[in-house]
A and B are shown apart, each in its own frame.
Chain A
Amino acid sequence: MAPPPRQRSKTSGKAVPARGMLSRAMAWWSPLSGRRLTPIVPQESLAGRALIAVLAIMCFLSCLAVGAVSIVLDAAQGWQSEVAREITIQLRPRQGVDIEKDLGVISDIVRRTVGIERIRVLTRAENQRLLEPWLGQDIELSALPVPRLIVIETARSLKLDVEKLRQTVQQAVPGAALDDHRLWRQKLSAMTDAVVGLGVGVVILVLVATALSIVFATRGTMAANRDVFEVLQLVGADHRFIAREFQLRFLRFGLEGGLIGGVASLVAFSFAGIIVRSLSDDTGQAQIDLLFGSADLGWRGYLSVVGTVLIVTVLTAMTSRWSVIRHLSGKHRAS
């Protein structure tokens, strides 16, 4: 029998330092057969398809929660920026004083104040229209001491000193009240924070459930591929190598499931947008627009969905890696 073939020096069989990601990726390509080398951990399995379905559903739910939070945040920002720029001065009629004269005094003060973009004194007719929902259309208000309103829009670029304006107005016309809607804005902010907190909580719960599903799926895969484990240890694979092989397999599952769930959520948001727009003839459209803006996801929403898909993918890969290393370390301690 001929002697065994001489080993080339660069393949001495000694342990070599780990190579970079590119080299490892290239090591998968087989010029001999002109195809990729077979993955060490078999890719196709019923459990794998089930896991992709679970990941897709989890990612879909996470993206829905994240997208909804994004829409609420966008709408709340819209409300807050509009409301924050609007200040109302309410002027009650005083005994023996012409209210039009008081309106003129306050208008002059406001116009001289830095940080004001626009001022508008509501006419008696406009006042009447505001009260129609409560008092009806046919009522005569001229005999009643109905307060008059001045609506002020503040400038975006210049900072208005609201407290100073309030004091000046009250000193000039006792009984005049300046309302910067602070209380309403605080309530709106609290409600927005609650919605965002709820959304983040839902996403965290879904991600925890996803991680647990991956742990169980990894254990199932390890049990189903026990022979692969044994052979890898037989040929001297360390824990990191084995974990990386499983991580690669689960990375693919995570990417597949994440993309399916992410795309499905985008379709769902588009569908919701179409429904909202189809209600444009409806009288409720104004209220829907007021609450949710145009119900479009916006760039922040799209970024959140992409981020969620990436998080699900990375979470899948890292959880499987952690699970394999933990299992192998446990086995080493037990042996």
Chain B
Amino acid sequence: MIVFENVGLRYDLGPEVLHDVSFVIEPHSFQFLTGPSGAGKSTLMRLMFMALRPTRGAARIFDQDVATITAYDIAATRRRIGMVFQDFRLLDHMTTYENVALPYRVQGKLESDYRADVVDLLQWVGLGKRLHAYPPVLSGGEKQRAAIARAVITKPEILLADEPSGNVDPDLAYRLLRLFVELNRSGTAVLIATHDLNLLQEVNARHMVLSEGRLTIYD
């Protein structure tokens, strides 16, 4: 699904922030990406989302070589990936329903085709009564759940979540983790980047630890 071999990355002429990173993410797998702040977790997530290109090494995502991938193929590949950011990235001028339905609109689907799916999912994440609320009036937890719903609405093959519990209380963080586990059970591979040690202890999963730009994997 995602294969990195000796990947290195530097910004412009600066020092290398990732060194010889190698790993494979298998379909239906569940893993945490952890490490101290500034270790390069978000950078690695951005590499996997093709927002950055490695400066050396080989990276293949869904059999596409990231070094040579075209803009069109990046868009098509991203539709197979769900991405959750710490800062939610919801559009403030659209309702919760419209934000979650956005991936379907991008795919050119008719609203009548996806309406029931979106409503069902929003009810499942506890936002059934906030369909027409705009993000500025949602709480941090509600925004995070809306962002997760948007990431999984098209049932991606892999979910990348960058610090999904960073802006929520421990109770909600635990509930979000259960949400990810359920998604994984339904067939979606999950990678959660976090430095929340409590969260790591809740699930028996592979740990990918980044430290000073180097990756160590604990299966």
**Chain A residues within 8 Å of B, Cβ to Cβ:** 1-5, 7-8, 10-16, 18-19, 23-24, 26-27, 29-33, 37-38, 40, 42, 227-228, 230-239, 241, 328-329, 332, 335
In whole angstroms, what is the CA distance A42 to B132 when docked?
Answer: 17
Smallest distance from the beta carbon of B194 to chain A beta carbons, Å? Answer: 19
Identify the closest chain B residue to A331 (Cβ). B71
Contact of B72 among A16, A38, A234, A238 (CB under 8 A): A238
Most buried by B among A10, A23, A238: A238
Say which one of B22-30, B32-40, B110-118, B138-146 lies at the interface with A.
B110-118
Tell me whether A1 and B117 are in contact (CB under 8 A).
no
B116 / chain A contacts, CB cutoff of 8 Å: 8
Identify the closest chain B residue to A29 (Cβ). B111
Tell me whether A235 and B102 are in contact (CB under 8 A).
yes
In whole angstroms, what is the CA distance A31 to B111 when docked?
Answer: 8
B56 at interface (Cβ–Cβ under 8 A)?
Answer: no
Identify the closest chain A residue to B51 (Cβ). A335
Tell me whether B120 and A15 are in contact (CB under 8 A).
no
A238 / chain B contacts, CB cutoff of 8 Å: 71-72, 75-76
Tell me whether A233 and B72 are in contact (CB under 8 A).
no
Tell me which residues from 53 to 68 in chain B have a Cβ below 8 Å from any Cβ of chain A.
Answer: 53
Smallest distance from the beta carbon of A71 to chain B beta carbons, Å? Answer: 46
Contact of A40 among B74, B89, B105, B186 (CB under 8 A): B105
Known: A8-B117, A234-B83, A235-B150. A27 touches B105 (CB 8 A): yes
A12 / chain B contacts, CB cutoff of 8 Å: 154-155
B119 / chain A contacts, CB cutoff of 8 Å: 32
**Size of the chain B interface, CB-CB below 8 angstroms:** 59
Return 5 A-B CB contacts under 8 Å, by A number: A5-B120, A5-B121, A18-B108, A32-B115, A40-B102
B156 at interface (Cβ–Cβ under 8 A)?
Answer: yes
Identify the closest chain A residue to B99 (Cβ). A231
Tell me whether B71 and A11 are in contact (CB under 8 A).
no
Contact of A15 among B79, B89, B102, B111 (CB under 8 A): B79
Tell me whether A1 and B51 are in contact (CB under 8 A).
no
Known: A19-B108, A231-B102, A335-B51. A2 touches B124 (CB 8 A): yes
Tell me whether B110 and A241 are in contact (CB under 8 A).
no
Contact of B106 among A5, A37, A232, A329 (CB under 8 A): A232
Identify the closest chain B residue to A28 (Cβ). B111
Q: Which 4 A-B pairs have the closest CB atoms?
A: A13-B154, A236-B79, A238-B75, A5-B120
Contact of B179 among A1, A11, A239 (CB under 8 A): A1
Say which one of B90-98, B165-173, B198-206, B210-218 lies at the interface with A.
B90-98
A241 / chain B contacts, CB cutoff of 8 Å: 75, 106, 108
